[in-house]
Amino acid sequence: MKYLLILVLLITVNCEGQKSNKMNNKDFVQIVKSDLKESDLETFELVEFGKIRNESAPMGDFLSRMWTNFGKPESVMFEGFNYFIKDTKTNVIFSVYFGASGPGYAAKKNDIEKVKPRIYELEKILDNSKNSDCEEEIETDFGTYLCGAKNGIPYDKEK
């Protein structure tokens, strides 16, 4: 009986832990660019965040972790891709992108300080995310690359 009680307690704790992990992903939702005012986008500035993910990792690593949580990026651009994310706790919209200088975040100037701790939370979610199978074709100064992940292994390879 004692072991049964311990087993039930362990299962309950594990289920509660799983519930809280799922809730973290609902803290951030992808929105489409057309939902934003063009004048707001013009005021977006780089969020000086400090350490941003593993900058030496392939673009496919960042892409596949974002894909796991938000699906396909809204736009694939020259040398990268872009997502617009709404933080449901602060109601702030920010951009998550990979560009010529690597991964980054941008937000309206007045929202930058508010969004920094939330970006930290998003980074934790991404760090704990698996690499989804995905692939995007990215044009760069060095040619066209296929970026993504296959069987959990991220890659950037010349087309």
Q: For the ranges 32-36, 109-113, 122-126, which has the lowest average pLDDT?
A: 32-36
Question: Tens digits of per-residue pLDDT, 50-61?
Answer: 666 666 788 999
Beta-carbon contacts of residue 60 (< 8 Å; ≥ 6 apart) = 131, 134, 135, 147, 148, 149, 154, 155, 156
Question: Tens digits of per-residue pLDDT, 53-103?
Answer: 666 788 999 999 999 999 999 889 999 999 999 999 999 999 999 988 888
Reported confidence tier of residue 37, pLDDT bands at 50, 70, 90: confident
Domain boundaries, the chain: 28-158
